[in-house]
Amino acid sequence: MADLRALLFDVDGTLADTERDGHRLAFNHAFRERGLDWDWGVELYGRLLAVTGGKERMLFYLERFRPDWPRPDDLAGFVAELHKAKTRHYTEMLRKGAIPLRPGVRRLLDEARGAGLRLAVATTTTPENVTALLDSALGVDARSMFELIAAGDLVPQKKPAPDIYLWTMERMGLSAEQCLAFEDSLNGVRSVRDAGIRALVVTVNDYTRNEDFTGATLVLDTLGEPGERPEVLAGPMQDIGPVDVSLLRELHRLAAADA
């Protein structure tokens, strides 16, 4: 069995709860600024999350909810411009510290680095969004914590396609058996599984809690901080303390044995 060598992290929903009070608000800000009558409420946004990627999500919104909205000739160009404005609003929010990391994330990153595990990010979001989050939530040397930040349009197909995980592992010279991934959503789980990674921890959030996480090794409400007991929603153990490196090694072993 291969040793656990690397932890691969999704960003949105996993490192931080960015969707409802981050991305959603930034989209709405960009829409208003452009004079559009588009307004993504909390419930509608949950439905739009079926599609990953901001540009792709806007096109999905038009197709599904606004069939009568008059399309500009260059729809792709229009959406790309709108998305740039959205990214500007989003990164401004993050730089003001609007969104903290989820509980246990900082603790686990520090511990994993100390244990010699390699760390990387594999996400569909725009690269500037990741650096804005890490810089504001982790401090100035945050980016050096991760060996690789794989994000956005680097790969042809976003999650649920496995492309971003495959690209990350190839760039780092890792096999799927050497990795453990962290996700928060069904689209993320599909991406991880189709990349051949068996060891997978899901931490749910309000948007994803009721999704089907079949194939995840462990499903939790949170990674947990010292003194807390994460709620186990699915997995091979019921009573656990905060997620730490020794638990991850055990999960990695169980996932390999199950393969």
- What positions carry a catalytic annotation? 10, 12
Q: DSSP H helical segments within the chain, as ranges?
A: 24-33, 42-48, 54-65, 75-95, 105-114, 127-138, 142-145, 163-172, 186-194, 245-258
- Could you give the CA distance from residue 58 to residue 91 in angstroms, rounded to a whole number? 19
126 binding ligand XBP? (CB under 6 A) = yes
- Could you give the CA distance from residue 222 to residue 51 in angstroms, rounded to a whole number? 24
CB-based burial label for 257 (10 Å; 0-12, 13-18, 19+):
exposed
- 51 touches 23 (CB < 8 A): no
**Nearer to Mg ion among residue 177 and residue 230 (C-beta):** 230
Which window, 29-37, 76-84, 110-118, 184-192, contacts Mg ion (CB under 5 A)? 184-192
Q: Which of 6, 10, 48, 151 binds Mg ion (CB under 5 A)?
A: 10
Q: Which of 12, 17, 177, 244 binds Mg ion (CB under 5 A)?
A: 12
Which window, 43-51, 108-116, 186-194, 214-222, contacts Mg ion (CB under 5 A)? 186-194
**Nearer to ligand XBP among residue 87 and residue 203 (C-beta):** 87
Q: How far is the CB of 229 from ligand XBP (least distance, A)?
A: 26
Tokens in use for 120? 């990387």
Residues that bind ligand XBP (CB under 6 A): 10-13, 19, 23, 52-54, 87, 123-126, 129, 159, 185, 187-188
Binding residues for Mg ion, per CB under 5 A? 10, 12-13, 184-185, 188
